């Protein structure tokens, strides 16, 4: 009995698992797990990992991304410009080879520290080590560092820049390249700093005043309503001047000023935010003087804002055609953290995507609904019968509009159906069926004929005739 049991237990396994024994020629050596920075995963493939195709792909991606960042830095290498201390916190640079964060605090020129880092000996060493470790070609090393000659040139340029700056304008830091800011802007920054220290209670009841005092401080040249040329990128600041307000303004107006000054000081500032600012101040807006064309539309928007908002203020503010902010205008604006948006209540970034579609101010719900609908239109193009569906939709629309008269379907149309007992494609089975269909009436005719000719039909004959057509047995449940 036990023998049998054993033999049953040791049934020959059709797919024996390959267990690496001590003498097996298993090429896979187990090595310690290590982390590949490029592929962002741990692996125990050891030295072989860097030759795998997935790794080489990730490596080329990785390096090209870093290369982009370095080209940005090289731009500033050729054109040194002065770094404003306020912007310094933004220009951080992570060197992937050294695993170190290079920031720009205390540097007087843009990317100063980054350039010095890339030129450094340490960086070069680590770069070479990285290339070796991750299997990149060594000739690419020079792409990721800055040679000393170039750095020396750059330093010379910087020095000359500095000396020029100090000689030309005293007290105003004019830049030759990159940021042609004006003295007014400079003043603005000062104002801004002061305002920031004030507490801002702009959200309070003043908004719900029915009467909008006219704060329109005009320079007529500004109201030309020229188009807003899009985002102010790379180096152009929106130039804000707070209008001189009439003396009887309530104290909150100063806080409004501060909002705008603060908001618009940050460059680049895109249209939605500006217009959001303008709108959500409850119609109290300020005129933006700008030597460039950028903010002119804001002015014209602002004008229209007042006209509309004042009529809308008593009830819930629904739509404002010209500002892009889709947020409803409540007495208390929801605060958001973030550079400059906190107090102005400009539309949140996730709604900015829908802003381009409609210029109307509609409640948040509407925008949510419309964005849902646009998602639905992207049905999977690989779904079954997608082509048919598209065609049919178009046909149905045209029928609705009355362009095509509803044509009767071909009475012989059949959906594509793979029959039960068949092999081959559905088209073939359909053809088979059609052939059978054609045969059927012939057979049926014949059987009827035979019935009439021979008045007596034996049971055998009947059953044989019936078997000629495909069996249709109907069973209850």
Partner 1 sequence: MSYLLETLTKKMEIDTIIRDTIDKVLVLRFGRSSDSLSLQLDDILAKSARELSKFGTVALVDIDSEDVQVYVNYFDITLIPSTLFFFNAHHIKMDSGTADHTKWVGAFHRKQDFIDVVEAIFRGAMKGKLIVNCPLPPERIPKYQLLYKDV
Residue of the chain from 177, 183, 396, 443 that contacts partner 1 (CB under 8 A): 396
How many angstroms separate the Cα of 270 from the Cα of each of 275, 277, 295, 324, 347?
9, 11, 10, 11, 11
Binders of partner 1 among residues 344 to 383 (CB under 8 A) are 379-380, 382-383
Residue of the chain from 183, 414, 435, 451 that contacts partner 1 (CB under 8 A): 414
Neighbours of 318 (CB within 10 A): 14
Q: What is the dihedral of CA 69, 74, 76, 80, to 10 degrees?
A: 150
Distance CA 326, CA 364 (A): 6
Residue of the chain from 1, 138, 220, 475 that contacts partner 1 (CB under 8 A): 475
x-or-dash string of contact with partner 1, 426-455, rule CB under 8 A? x------x---x------------------
- What is the three-class DSSP state of 41? strand
Instruction: Specify the residue for token string 């929801």.
Output: 334
Q: Which residue, 353 or 404, is less far from partner 1 as judged by CB?
A: 404
Q: Which residue, 176 or 430, is less far from partner 1 as judged by CB?
A: 430
The reply on whether position 456 binds partner 1 by CB under 8 A is: no
122 is written with which tokens?
A: 């340490």
CB of 398: closest distance to partner 1 in angstroms? 14
DSSP code for 109: B
Residues 6+ apart with CB under 8 A from 444: 469
CB of 385: closest distance to partner 1 in angstroms? 3
- What is the three-class DSSP state of 346? coil
Q: Which residue, 41 or 419, is less far from partner 1 as judged by CB?
A: 419
Q: Which residue, 414 or 451, is less far from partner 1 as judged by CB?
A: 414
Q: Which residue, 19 or 473, is less far from partner 1 as judged by CB?
A: 473
Residues 6+ apart with CB under 8 A from 248: none
Residue of the chain from 385, 397, 444, 464 that contacts partner 1 (CB under 8 A): 385
CB of 381: closest distance to partner 1 in angstroms? 9
The reply on whether position 177 binds partner 1 by CB under 8 A is: no
CB of 365: closest distance to partner 1 in angstroms? 20
Which region among 176-184, 265-273, 345-353, 406-414 touches partner 1 (by CB under 8 A)? Answer: 406-414
The reply on whether position 472 binds partner 1 by CB under 8 A is: yes
How many angstroms separate the Cα of 90 from the Cα of each of 93, 153, 154, 312?
9, 25, 22, 40
132 is written with which tokens?
A: 């070796």
Q: Which residue, 211 or 387, is less far from partner 1 as judged by CB?
A: 387
- The residues facing 43 across adjacent strands are 34
Residue of the chain from 140, 393, 439, 464 that contacts partner 1 (CB under 8 A): 393
DSSP, residue by residue, 43-56:
E--GGGGGGSHHHH
Residue of the chain from 392, 427, 431, 439 that contacts partner 1 (CB under 8 A): 392
Neighbours of 206 (CB within 10 A): 17
Residue of the chain from 101, 220, 337, 471 that contacts partner 1 (CB under 8 A): 471
Residues 6+ apart with CB under 8 A from 118: 70, 73, 95, 144, 145, 146
Which region among 8-16, 301-309, 323-331, 466-474 touches partner 1 (by CB under 8 A)? Answer: 466-474
CB of 271: closest distance to partner 1 in angstroms? 37
CB of 393: closest distance to partner 1 in angstroms? 6
- What is the three-class DSSP state of 380? coil
The reply on whether position 477 binds partner 1 by CB under 8 A is: yes
Instruction: Specify the residue for token string 């770094």.
Output: 83
Neighbours of 209 (CB within 10 A): 15
User: Which secondary-structure segment (H or E) carries 312?
Assistant: helix 296-312
Determine contact, residues 357/272, Cβ cutoff 8 Å.
Answer: no
The reply on whether position 473 binds partner 1 by CB under 8 A is: yes
CB of 451: closest distance to partner 1 in angstroms? 20
Determine contact, residues 185/136, Cβ cutoff 8 Å.
Answer: no
The reply on whether position 464 binds partner 1 by CB under 8 A is: no
Q: Which residue, 251 or 412, is less far from partner 1 as judged by CB?
A: 412
Rg (CA), the chain: 39
CB of 370: closest distance to partner 1 in angstroms? 19
CB of 426: closest distance to partner 1 in angstroms? 8
Residue of the chain from 18, 167, 315, 421 that contacts partner 1 (CB under 8 A): 421
Residues that bind partner 1 (CB under 8 A): 379-380, 382-386, 388-389, 392-393, 396, 408-409, 411, 413-421, 426, 433, 437, 467, 470-477
């Amino acid at each position: 009995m036990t023998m049998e049991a054993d033999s049953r237990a040791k049934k020959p396994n059709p797919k024996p698992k390959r267990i690496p024994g001590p003498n097996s020629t298993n090429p896979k050596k187990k090595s310690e797990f290590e982390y590949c920075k490029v592929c962002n995963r741990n692996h125990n493939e050891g030295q072989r990992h860097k030759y795998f195709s997935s790794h080489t792909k990730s490596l080329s991606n990785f390096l090209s991304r870093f290369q982009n960042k370095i080209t940005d830095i090289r731009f500033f290498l050729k054109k040194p410009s002065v770094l404003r201390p306020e912007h310094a916190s933004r220009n951080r640079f992570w060197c992937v080879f050294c695993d170190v964060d290079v920031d720009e605090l205390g540097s007087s020129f843009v990317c100063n520290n980054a350039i010095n880092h890339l030129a450094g000996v340490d960086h070069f060493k680590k770069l070479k080590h990285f290339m070796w470790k991750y299997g990149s070609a060594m000739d690419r090393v020079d792409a990721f560092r800055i040679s000393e000659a170039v750095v020396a040139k750059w330093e010379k340029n910087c020095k000359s820049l500095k000396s020029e700056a100090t000689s030309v304008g005293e007290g105003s830091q004019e830049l030759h390249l990159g940021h042609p800011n004006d003295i007014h802007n400079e003043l603005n920054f000062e104002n801004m700093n002061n305002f920031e220290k004030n507490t801002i209670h702009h959200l309070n009841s003043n908004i719900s005043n029915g009467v909008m005092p006219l704060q329109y401080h005009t320079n007529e040249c500004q109201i030309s309503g020229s188009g807003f040329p899009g985002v102010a990128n790379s180096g152009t600041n929106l130039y804000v001047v707070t209008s001189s307000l009439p003396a009887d303004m309530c104290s909150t107006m100063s806080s409004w000023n501060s909002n705008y000054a603060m908001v618009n000081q940050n460059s680049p500032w895109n249209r939605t935010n500006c217009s959001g600012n303008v709108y959500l101040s409850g119609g109290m807006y300020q005129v933006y003087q700008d030597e460039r064309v950028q903010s002119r539309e804001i002015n014209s928007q602002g004008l229209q804002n007042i006209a509309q908002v004042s009529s809308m203020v008593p009830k819930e503010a629904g739509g404002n055609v010209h500002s892009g902010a889709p947020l409803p205008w409540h007495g208390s604006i929801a605060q958001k953290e973030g550079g400059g948006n906190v107090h102005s209540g400009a539309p949140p970034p996730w709604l900015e995507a829908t802003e381009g579609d409609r210029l109307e101010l509609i409640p948040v719900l509407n925008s949510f609904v419309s964005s849902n609908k646009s998602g639905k239109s992207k049905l999977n193009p690989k779904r079954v019968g997608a082509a048919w569906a598209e065609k049919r939709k178009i046909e149905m629309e045209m029928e609705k509009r009355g362009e095509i008269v509803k044509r009767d379907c071909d009475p012989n149309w059949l959906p594509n159906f793979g029959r039960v007992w068949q092999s081959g494609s559905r088209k073939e089975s359909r053809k088979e069926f059609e052939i059978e269909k054609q045969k059927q009436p012939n057979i049926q005719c014949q059987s009827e004929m035979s019935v009439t000719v021979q008045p007596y039909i034996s049971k055998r004959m009947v059953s044989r005739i019936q078997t000629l057509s495909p069996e249709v047995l109907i069973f209850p449940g």
